[in-house]
Amino acid sequence: MLSFVLRRLLASVFILLGASFIIYVLAANAGDPLEDLRASTAPNREALIAARVELLQLDVPAPARYFLWLGGVLGAFVGQFDLGTTVSGQSVINLISDAMWQTIQLVTIASVIAILIGVIVGMTTALRQYSGYDYTVTFFSFLFFSLPVFFVAVLLKEYMAIGFNDFLTNPAIPPIGIVIISLVSGFVWMTIIGGDPKPRLIVFGSATLITAAILGYLLITNWFERPGLGAFLIGGLGAAIAVIVTSLSTGLRNRRALYAALAMAALGAALWYPLQFVMTTSATVIVPVMLIVAFLVIGAVVGYLLGQNDKMVAARGAAITGALVGGLIVLDRVMQVWPDYVVNTRGRPIATIGASTPGLGGSIWQGALDSYTHLLLPTITLLLLSVASYSRYSRASLLEVMNQDYVRTARAKGLTERTVVMRHAFRNAMIPIATIIAFDVGGLIGGAVITETIFAWRGMGSIFQDALEHVDLNPLMAFILITSALTVLFNLLADILYSVLDPRIRVS
Amino acid sequence: MSNMMMGDGKEPLTQHESNDELTIEQKEVEGLSQGTVVRRRFFRHRGAMAALVVLISLALLVYTSIGLQIFGFRVPGWWQWGYESATPLVNGGNPTWVLPFNFGEHPFGQDNIGRDLFARVMRGTQQSIVVMALYGAIAAVIGIVVGAVSGFFRGWVDSILMRFTDLIIVIPVIVLAAVLGRTVGNLGAVVLGIVLGLVGWPTLARLVRGEFLSLREREFVDAARVAGASSSRIVFRHILPNAIGVVIVSTTLLMSAAILLEAALSFLGFGIVAPDVSLGQLINEYRDAFSTRPWLFWWPGLFIIAIALCINFIGDGLRDAFDPRQRRMPGANGPYRQMFAMVTGRTARQQNAGPVKRAPGDPSRKGGPAV
């Protein structure tokens, strides 16, 4: 394995060298970096041109100039990492390190959410193959495949942001709207849960009523103006999380695991009030992180103590529940600053430009909310396409696995459907998904170029676009270096992951 | 995908149709050529057929309306305005199309200097189709040749070609395409299509190589070799026909990606640039007018989506048609029909409407298969 990794790394270095050389030469021929100066009417035009030629060493032919650039990059090994300067003389390293953080933030969040939603949707469509839900999801994923990214982005910016902000200034849903939303939600739940006609109708009716009740509650309590969870909702949502986590991981039959998880929900509700004094406005980032970790550890301990025969399983379930309940408490704290935030953003909380509100300041809770409102639209844009492809892949993969002999064997042994799906089918279906996702992440950074342009994020994408427009090779190459290095790295990761997850595959 | 997807859920499963289905299945067993089987399956795929019809009518509309321009040679179309000529604003540039059939002077509206948007969208679609077709054709040819050569001959040829493929695949497509588009974008759609095609082949090459690697170990290839067939005969007569499914399907998907790529490049300003017109370039040009003249944004966008969606559906139909494992699903026992039957009181059908789980190889399945 080690020799495989080393050999692949060595090969990757050569691939990176080759790829960067190709791009360098191509980009150098893409246009004239002196174009703006040649057209200028400044009296010292010749001097300016000469200065820029001197600065960027434009008198050296492009293939040779590549090696000068490469010398700067390889300087990393002797502690003098140099990516050159931009046309305007700015250091590329400073430029790119700020931008990289923004892009990585955007891409990471989008990928994580896309994987979660994509896998869940894909798996449920596979389990409900040929249902109305399946067809609807298939149609929408085809639609999302065919949507140009910039089109979606502009639509979101012009309609969703403005519409949602208008809604928030006067949050009222007319009765007919509530009826329609409830009916749609009832229909969606009915198609997901499936089964015989009679239970379907029951699901439809109850889901419709529950949705209507929730909407009514939110509107009556002015929830959209003062959102929050409170001890009561944290307890309720925590209990729901406990039931879902237990039923997926051990099954509700395992009472001890269920009680351990429910205990964590109760603990969250009980500790909600005292924790408000810990999460003050002057708290640092460490506080929410510590809180979630503490809930995770407490969950593991509670599960271990209550678990008797299968301590590990109960501990795992309770730990997951605990961490999620801790997350709910933090979420509640962030929601509490919403009214202030709306005032600070002059009533237009959903942002369409940039990565943060300039000069906002305030507590970390407000900062988190600010990042959220800025990330919302670009993340949705990036999500649509990834969710479409991940859900297709996971659907195909689970369908393939469900027809394998070992799944039939598991059913024949009399295992419950939950065990068959979650333990035998799901894990095996995830193997190809893991590798596909690893391949994808590298490409996603390149794909963020358009999204960043439209939402005016000063990320790597906009650096690339500016650089290409002005044929400014140094920042362009820094962009290429980072994206292709990440691509190579994730490809390698995909290969390793594949052999680790599937013992039948041996790397050589 | 089938009934539901195309909004065509009403079709009743008559006795005649199920018999028809049965005979097709039997004929497959009887030994038709693979081409016939694939063609029949494709023609029975409702989503793909609908997409094909829409695409062909779109192409007809696009190419007859404003005519053609090939190397300065001009074939006029039936539409009254050209895509470059500015005319006085009618109704403030708003679309004059009143649904359903009253088109008026400028059905899609006009831009701020009075150019007819319909003509511009038609021209833009022509350019986008040119880029797409050239990209698809060139990428397919290079991808097949590289993949076939390296998969069939293996050894050092394979190593060199695959390292070269790695080299190109490591750069994100949009980045490489943007750099090339910046260089040649002002030379027009044909040049752009060719240049993009020259870098669009690596994924296809990898797929074809994989297919060749597994096919060349099969018994029928051994048999051909023992019978004294030359390498070229083995490749063209024995292996390639068996790999053609993968090639056609991924070329289709490549083309749908190509139209989105062209639009994205032109939108960023690295593809086709004004005064020439393409769908992405139109959206880029009218981006700032969005709040005052939204139709300038909607029409080009809708055409991009329509073309990409059609090609994706055709690709899906082809994939199903080429996949020997795919069978059809039970259409009569679908959940909505059960619900309908129950609500309308015709519960007699419930007898055989339980949630029967059939294996995909079960010949009783009919309807659209999975992706």
In chain B, residues 223-282 whose CB comes closer than 8 Å to chain A: 256, 260, 263-264, 267-270, 280
Among A263-267, A328-332, B316-320, the minimum mean pLDDT is found in B316-320
Q: Do A194 and B335 touch (CB under 8 A)?
A: yes
Among A273, A449, A15, smallest CA distance to B177 is for A449
In a domain, B89, yes or no: no
Q: Nearest C-alpha of chain B: how many angstroms from A325?
A: 37
Burial of B15 (0-12, 13-18, 19+ CB in 10 A): exposed
B157 and B224 both lie in a single domain: yes
B264 and B339 both lie in a single domain: no
Q: Nearest C-alpha of chain A: how many angstroms from B78?
A: 30
B168 and B252 both lie in a single domain: yes
**Cβ density class A93-126: b for 16+ within 10 Å, e for less:** eebbeebbebbbbbbebbbebbbeebbebbbbbb
**Closest Cβ opposite residue B264 in set A26, A150, A154:** A150
> Which residues touch A324 (CB under 8 Å, ≥6 apart)?
A238, A241, A245
In a domain, B354, yes or no: yes
Whether A123 contacts A426, CB under 8 Å? yes
Q: B167: which chain A residues are within 8 Å (Cβ-Cβ)?
A: 15, 18-19, 22
B288 and B159 both lie in a single domain: yes
pLDDT at B357 over 70: no
Rounded Cα gap, residues B357 and A129, in angstroms:
10
pLDDT at B83 over 50: yes
Q: Nearest C-alpha of chain B: how many angstroms from A309?
A: 36
Domain housing B252: 128-322
Report H helices in A57-196.
Answer: 62-74, 92-127, 132-146, 149-155, 162-169, 175-193
Q: Which pair of structure tokens corresponds to residue B178? A: 């943007």
In a domain, B204, yes or no: yes
Alpha carbons within 13 angstroms on the beta-carbon side of residue B182 total 24
Rounded Cα gap, residues B99 and B109, in angstroms:
14
Q: Which pair of structure tokens corresponds to residue B274? A: 């004004």
- Number of domain units in chain B: 2
CB-based contact, B325 to chain A, within 8 Å: no
CB-based contact, B113 to chain A, within 8 Å: no
- Closest chain A residue to B366 measured between Cα atoms? A130
pLDDT at B341 over 70: no
In a domain, B188, yes or no: yes
Q: What is the pLDDT of residue A198?
A: 82
- Closest chain B residue to A137 measured between Cα atoms? B5
User: Which neighbouring-strand residues pair with A378?
Assistant: none
Which of A376-380, B78-82, B83-87, B102-106 is most confident?
Answer: A376-380
Q: Nearest C-alpha of chain B: how many angstroms from A148?
A: 6
B270 and B353 both lie in a single domain: no
**pTM (global) more than 0.95:** no
In a domain, B73, yes or no: no
pLDDT at B330 over 50: no
pLDDT-derived band at B353 (thresholds 50, 70, 90) equals: very low
B354 and B215 both lie in a single domain: no
CB-based contact, A167 to chain B, within 8 Å: no
Among A377, A369, A287, smallest CA distance to A336 is for A369
Rounded Cα gap, residues A386 and A392, in angstroms:
10
Q: Which pair of structure tokens corresponds to residue A276? A: 């408000």
Q: 3-state DSSP call for residue B327?
A: coil
Check residues A285 and B96 and name the one with the higher pLDDT: A285
User: How open is the CA angle A263-A265-A269, to the nearest 5 degrees?
Assistant: 115
Rounded Cα gap, residues B284 and B297, in angstroms:
9
B315 and B346 both lie in a single domain: no
Check residues A40 and B330 and name the one with the higher pLDDT: A40
pLDDT at B4 over 60: no
Determine the average pLDDT of the residues in A7-34. Answer: 85
Q: Which pair of structure tokens corresponds to residue A88? A: 């305007």
pLDDT at A367 over 80: yes
- Closest chain B residue to A131 measured between Cα atoms? B335
B300 and B368 both lie in a single domain: no
**Closest Cβ opposite residue A23 in set B179, B270, B297:** B179
- Closest chain A residue to B334 measured between Cα atoms? A131
Q: Which pair of structure tokens corresponds to residue A389? A: 């492809």
Regarding beta strands B68-70 and B73-75, do their DSSP bridges make them parallel or antiparallel, or are they unpaired? antiparallel
pLDDT digits (tens, 9 = 90+) for A217-231: 888 887 887 888 888
Rounded Cα gap, residues B314 and B246, in angstroms:
14
B147 and B211 both lie in a single domain: yes
CB-based contact, A8 to chain B, within 8 Å: no
B217 and B293 both lie in a single domain: yes
Determine the average pLDDT of the residues in B11-33. Answer: 52
Which residue is listed with tokens 């590549």? Answer: A66
pLDDT-derived band at B343 (thresholds 50, 70, 90) equals: low
Q: Which candidate in A142, A489, A490 is best for mutational testing of the B interface (most B CBs within 10 A)? A: A142
Q: Which pair of structure tokens corresponds to residue B23? A: 């005979």
User: Which neighbouring-strand residues pair with A85?
Assistant: A91
- Closest chain A residue to B281 measured between Cα atoms? A150
DSSP string for A244-304: HHHHHHT-TT-HHHHHHHHHHHHHHHHHHHHHTTTS-TT--THHHHHHHHHHHHHHHHHHH
Q: B172: which chain A residues are within 8 Å (Cβ-Cβ)?
A: 442-443, 445-447, 483-484, 487
pLDDT digits (tens, 9 = 90+) for A194-217: 667 788 888 888 989 998 988 888
- Closest chain B residue to A479 measured between Cα atoms? B175
In a domain, B183, yes or no: yes
**Cβ density class A346-382: b for 16+ within 10 Å, e for less:** eebbbbbeebebeeeeebbbbbbbbbbbbbbbbbbbb
> Which residues touch B216 (CB under 8 Å, ≥6 apart)?
B151, B152, B234, B239
Pairs across A and B, CB distance < 8 A:
173
Q: Which CATH number goes with the domain that contains B162?
A: 1.10.3720.10
Whether B255 contacts B133, CB under 8 Å? yes
pLDDT digits (tens, 9 = 90+) for B44-67: 888 888 999 999 999 888 888 777
Q: What is the pLDDT of residue A508?
A: 55
> Which residues touch A101 (CB under 8 Å, ≥6 apart)?
none
In a domain, B37, yes or no: no
- Closest chain A residue to B283 measured between Cα atoms? A151
Q: Nearest C-alpha of chain B: how many angstroms from A500?
A: 22
pLDDT digits (tens, 9 = 90+) for B231-249: 889 998 888 888 888 888 8
CB-based contact, B332 to chain A, within 8 Å: no
